């Protein structure tokens, strides 16, 4: 290797030529995405620009070596106003053409925002150490420019740079990063890019947008997207924040509206298009829009696909927002895009704990909300698609959400109902995150390849293993449900008192997700029982040990309770729920209720029980068809109906089940119960199937209260909502479940 050069470096080497500076104009203003000492987001290395010319500044600032920045009122620069001196820049030349992203553009061209001044002009100079007072005033003035939502110190939403998290195993050595000279903005310019240090142990690499594919036509994409919805863009934005945002708060509402008031051109094309696409689903909900033709959604989808693909080369928080919103479309729940979103989020460091990062507080809150929204997307996507999750607890450092992670003000102080809806939406979102964590535990415990293999390898003891693992999770579900705040409980909103018809409520997706989580747990229990019974019958010719009949009875009765309560929940949904925003997994969660009923039908030991499930599934399909009226969840329940037709169609190939004597079945269950209770005292120590399994079953039946407050043991005796005229004797072999469960210590 050659000897290192002895020539000292007085300034970092820039990775790209700086754009030329021009004299300020009366139309000039401060770039909201910049901060002192930077130019286009990159640190100014010296008081001299790299092309040899000093940066433009007024005479006073040049003489005193101050950072010359035009004030918002354009009555001279800030330092001159602070010091009470006359600014030489007040008489400025007329606007002239400038270079922006390599393209000549006039400050009053068609790409400029109507009514908005050119805020990309800025003068920079290193402040002098002798100007402490003036510098302090300047910093304070800069901190207040444009209000509290400006993006001066943001990491993930800069307009001209994107960030890449530097992980512990990359070609950057963390121990060497600390040797770099970081300035007051925690940045260090290197040949490869700009390092941005947000904490002692977390560093990002900032790179310019203009080098990425598709950057040269970003403004064209925004213009084309806006032209598709024009002149209804603002109405669609209002519709989005009225219907979608309360139940899925991943956008910074106040910042969004401030930017939109200036110009829609400030937004990332895929994010703007995603909001429009979602809002159009409630086109008829707006009295102003209902009578007008809808925009071309297909064209919007084409534009969002191409612009999102380009944005992934320069990922920002807006890229994750756009991807999450697009996934909420009726046909948007695809698995591959979820994997891409997880990768982009890791690039942005969303999987890290940002609590102490040196970024604006509102960005920390936004990062946490986006991280947990992505976590939910991954876990529920894994459930509905039957795929392995991409996010693991060993690489997840995001802290739990608190109310401080939401914007302080997002409502009109004069609108109490608006405030109530926003606060309810925040509570809803937080509870959905907690439920998703329980779902993640279920998927990890029962549905990974390793977990399923372990149960299969256990053979006849597989059910015992499943029950022992299910008990603590069931208790978590019970505690979660019991702790639900009153504002998001379905029993109150079913009365219609807190949800006026003109107010849509998205809390239905949370409760449906709860039933889907319960069903996912009980599906595994029922499946293990059926597999054990089939294994015993085929391997031992029916003469060997099998699952204890009493345990089987308890498990199936608890599963039946879940099914009845879930169907009853769907039956009682009101238009204010059905017309609201539903989380992307909801259409599959509706279908899972029917799938669970089909599983119980298929595994029924006798014809009477199978007929009972057949009738209830027919009633459930009727409920779904009623809920599928135009404007009331159309598409949401149609998918569930289609899946129900498929599963019940497959059940027609089942062999005819035997008729079981109801009185004989009851006597058999009573004898099995007494035998199992004796086994608790005599055989539990020896690891007998009955003793261990009954202990593991404790808590499985009492883990849920239905909307009416009935514990699940009582719910098992409740008739299906539309079966009041049917033969109630169908409940025969399950009528005494509550008493049986009590004797077994399950309640």
pLDDT along the chain (747 residues), means of 10: 40 39 35 34 36 56 66 61 63 43 38 36 34 34 38 80 93 87 90 92 94 93 96 96 94 89 93 96 92 95 95 96 94 87 97 95 94 98 96 96 86 76 93 98 97 90 93 96 94 52 84 98 94 66 64 93 96 91 95 96 92 95 81 72 92 84 48 46 37 46 40 35 35 34 34
On whether residue 367 sits in a domain, the answer given is: yes
For residues 436 and 380, the answer to whether their CB atoms sit within 8 Å is yes
CA–CA separation, 24 and 107 (whole Å): 12
CA–CA separation, 258 and 264 (whole Å): 10
226 shares its domain with 373: yes
Residue 233 in tokens: 């863009």
459 shares its domain with 598: yes
Closest C-alpha to 560, from 618, 625, 620, 609: 609
pLDDT reported for residue 662? 53
Residue 618 in tokens: 């027919």
Residue 734 in tokens: 């399950």
pLDDT reported for residue 545? 53
589 shares its domain with 721: yes
Dihedral (C-alpha) 548, 554, 558, 563: value to the nearest 10 degrees? 70
667 shares its domain with 642: yes
Residues 509-536: b if buried by 16+ CB within 10 A, e if exposed: bbbbbbbbbbbbbbbbbbbbbbbbbebb
Closest C-alpha to 709, from 384, 443, 481, 532: 481
For residues 742 and 722, the answer to whether their CB atoms sit within 8 Å is no
- Burial-class residue 470 by CB neighbours within 10 Å (0-12, 13-18, 19+): buried
On whether residue 424 sits in a domain, the answer given is: no
Q: What is the DSSP string of 122-188?
A: ----PPPTT-HHHHHHHHHHHHHTT-TT--TT-SS--SSEEEEE--TTSSS-HHHHTTS---TTSEE
Residue 627 in tokens: 């809920």
Phi, psi of 258, rounded to the nearest 5 degrees: -60, -45
CA–CA separation, 524 and 470 (whole Å): 9
Residue 646 makes CB contacts below 8 A (sequence gap 6+) with none
For residues 565 and 512, the answer to whether their CB atoms sit within 8 Å is no
**HSE-CB for 468 with a 13 A CA cutoff:** 12
CA-based radius of gyration for the chain: 32
Q: What residue numbers bound the domain in which 65 lies? A: 11-152
468 shares its domain with 583: yes
DSSP 8-state symbol, 38: E
| Boundary of a domain, candidates 121, 152, 183 | 152
173 shares its domain with 147: no
Residue 263 in tokens: 């110009």
Angle, vertex CA 681, rays to CA 675 and CA 683, nearest 5: 75
Q: At what angle do helices 689-697 and 662-682 cross, to 10 degrees?
A: 100
Number of domains comprising the chain:
4
On whether residue 1 sits in a domain, the answer given is: no
Q: What is the DSSP string of 465-526?
A: HHHHHHHHHHHHHHHHHHT--GGG-HHHHTTTSSS-TTS---HHHHHHHHHHHHHHHHHHHH
Segment (H or E) for 735: none
On whether residue 63 sits in a domain, the answer given is: yes
- Burial-class residue 287 by CB neighbours within 10 Å (0-12, 13-18, 19+): exposed
Distance of CA 104 to the CA centre of its chain: 40
| Boundary of a domain, candidates 405, 438, 459 | 405
121 shares its domain with 183: no
What are 205's strand-pairing partners? 164, 195
CA–CA separation, 570 and 459 (whole Å): 37
| Boundary of a domain, candidates 135, 152, 169 | 152
Residue 670 has a CB neighbour count (10 Å cut-off) of: 13
Residue 554 in tokens: 């308890």
**pLDDT tens-place string over residues 323-347:** 999 999 877 778 999 999 999 999 9
On whether residue 544 sits in a domain, the answer given is: yes
pLDDT reported for residue 299? 96
pLDDT reported for residue 180? 86
Residue 353 has a CB neighbour count (10 Å cut-off) of: 17
Residue 305 makes CB contacts below 8 A (sequence gap 6+) with none
661 shares its domain with 580: yes
Distance of CA 675 to the CA centre of its chain: 49
What Cα–Cα distance (Å) separates residue 397 from each residue in 218, 350, 361?
Answer: 34, 9, 18
For residues 358 and 609, the answer to whether their CB atoms sit within 8 Å is no
136 shares its domain with 195: no
Residue 70 in tokens: 């035009």
108 shares its domain with 193: no
Residue 33 has a CB neighbour count (10 Å cut-off) of: 21
78 shares its domain with 184: no
Phi, psi of 97, rounded to the nearest 5 degrees: -65, 150
CA–CA separation, 461 and 46 (whole Å): 73
On whether residue 477 sits in a domain, the answer given is: yes
On whether residue 717 sits in a domain, the answer given is: yes
pLDDT reported for residue 459? 83
pTM of the model: 0.73
Residue 178 makes CB contacts below 8 A (sequence gap 6+) with none
167 shares its domain with 227: no
On whether residue 417 sits in a domain, the answer given is: no
Residue 603 in tokens: 């595994």
DSSP 8-state symbol, 212: S
Angle, vertex CA 610, rays to CA 607 and CA 615, nearest 5: 125
Closest C-alpha to 352, from 200, 127, 217: 200
CA–CA separation, 86 and 284 (whole Å): 58
């Amino acid at each position: 290797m050659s000897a290192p050069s002895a020539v000292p470096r007085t300034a970092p080497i820039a990775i790209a030529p700086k754009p030329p500076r021009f004299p300020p104009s009366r139309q000039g203003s401060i770039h909201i995405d910049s901060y002192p000492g930077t130019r286009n987001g990159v640190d100014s290395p010296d008081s001299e620009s790299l092309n040899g010319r000093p940066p433009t500044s007024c005479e006073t600032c040049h003489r005193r070596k101050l950072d010359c920045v035009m004030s918002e009122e354009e009555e001279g620069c800030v330092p001159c106003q602070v010091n009470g001196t006359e600014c030489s820049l007040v008489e400025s030349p007329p606007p002239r053409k400038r270079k922006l992203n390599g393209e000549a553009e006039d400050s009053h061209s068609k790409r400029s925002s109507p009514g908005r001044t050119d805020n990309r002009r800025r003068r920079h100079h290193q402040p002098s150490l002798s100007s402490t007072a003036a510098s302090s005033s300047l910093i304070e003035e800069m901190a207040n420019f444009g209000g509290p939502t400006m993006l001066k110190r943001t990491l993930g939403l800069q307009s001209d740079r994107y960030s890449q998290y530097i992980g512990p195993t990359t070609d950057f050595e963390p121990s060497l990063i600390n040797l770099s000279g970081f300035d007051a903005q925690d940045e260090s310019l290197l040949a490869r890019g700009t390092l941005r240090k947000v904490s002692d142990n977390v560093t990002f690499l900032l790179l310019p947008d203009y080098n990425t594919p598709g950057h040269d036509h970003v403004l064209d994409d925004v213009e084309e997207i806006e032209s598709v919805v024009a002149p209804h863009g603002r109405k669609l934005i209002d519709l989005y924040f009225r219907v979608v945002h309360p139940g899925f708060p991943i956008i910074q509402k106040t910042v969004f509206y401030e930017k939109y008031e200036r110009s829609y051109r400030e937004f990332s094309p895929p994010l703007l298009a995603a909001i429009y696409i979602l809002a159009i689903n409630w086109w008829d909900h707006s009295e102003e829009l209902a009578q007008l033709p809808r925009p071309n959604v297909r064209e919007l989808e084409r534009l969002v696909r191409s612009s999102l693909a380009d944005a992934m080369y320069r990922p920002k928080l807006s890229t994750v927002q756009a991807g999450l919103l697009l996934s909420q479309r009726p046909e948007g729940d695809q698995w591959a895009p979820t994997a891409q979103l997880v990768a982009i989020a890791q690039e942005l460091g969303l999987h890290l704990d940002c609590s102490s990062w040196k970024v604006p507080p509102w960005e920390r809150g936004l990062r946490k909300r986006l991280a947990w929204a992505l976590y939910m997307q991954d876990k529920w996507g894994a459930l509905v698609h039957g795929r392995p999750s991409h996010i693991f607890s060993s690489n997840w450092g995001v802290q739990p959400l608190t109310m401080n992670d939401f914007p302080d003000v997002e409502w009109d102080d004069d609108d109490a109902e608006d405030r109530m809806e926003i606060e309810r939406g925040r509570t809803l979102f937080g509870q959905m995150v907690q439920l998703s964590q329980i779902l993640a535990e279920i998927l990890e415990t029962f549905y990974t390849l390793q977990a399923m293999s372990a149960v299969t390898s256990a053979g006849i003891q597989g059910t015992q293993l499943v029950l022992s693992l299910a008990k603590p999770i069931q208790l978590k579900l019970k505690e979660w449900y019991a702790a639900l705040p009153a504002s998001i409980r379905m029993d109150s909103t079913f009365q219609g008192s807190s949800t006026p018809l003109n107010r849509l409520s998205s809390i239905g997706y949370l409760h449906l997700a709860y039933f889907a989580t319960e069903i996912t747990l009980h599906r595994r229990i029922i499946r293990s029982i059926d597999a054990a019974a089939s294994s015993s019958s085929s391997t031992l010719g029916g003469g060997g040990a099998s699952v204890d009949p009493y345990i089987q009875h308890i498990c199936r009765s608890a599963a039946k309770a879940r099914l009845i309560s879930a169907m009853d929940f769907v039956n009682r949904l009101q238009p204010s729920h059905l017309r609201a925003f539903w989380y992307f997994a909801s259409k599959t969660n509706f279908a899972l209720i029917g799938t669970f009923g089909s599983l119980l039908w298929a595994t029924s030991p006798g014809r009477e029980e199978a007929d009972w499930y057949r009738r209830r599934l027919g009633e459930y399909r009727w409920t779904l068809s009623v809920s599928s009226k135009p404007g009331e969840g159309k598409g949401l329940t149609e998918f569930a109906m289609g899946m129900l037709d498929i599963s019940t169609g497959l059940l027609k190939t089942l062999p005819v089940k035997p008729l079981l004597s109801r009185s004989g079945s009851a006597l058999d269950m009573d004898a099995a119960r007494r035998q199992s209770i004796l086994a608790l005292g005599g055989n539990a120590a020896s690891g007998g199937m009955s003793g261990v399994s009954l202990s593991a079953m404790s808590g499985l039946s009492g883990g849920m209260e239905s909307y009416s407050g009935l514990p699940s043991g009582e719910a098992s005796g409740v008739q299906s909502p539309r079966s009041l005229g049917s033969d109630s004797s169908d409940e025969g072999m399950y009528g005494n479940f509550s008493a049986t469960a009590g004797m077994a210590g399950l309640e």
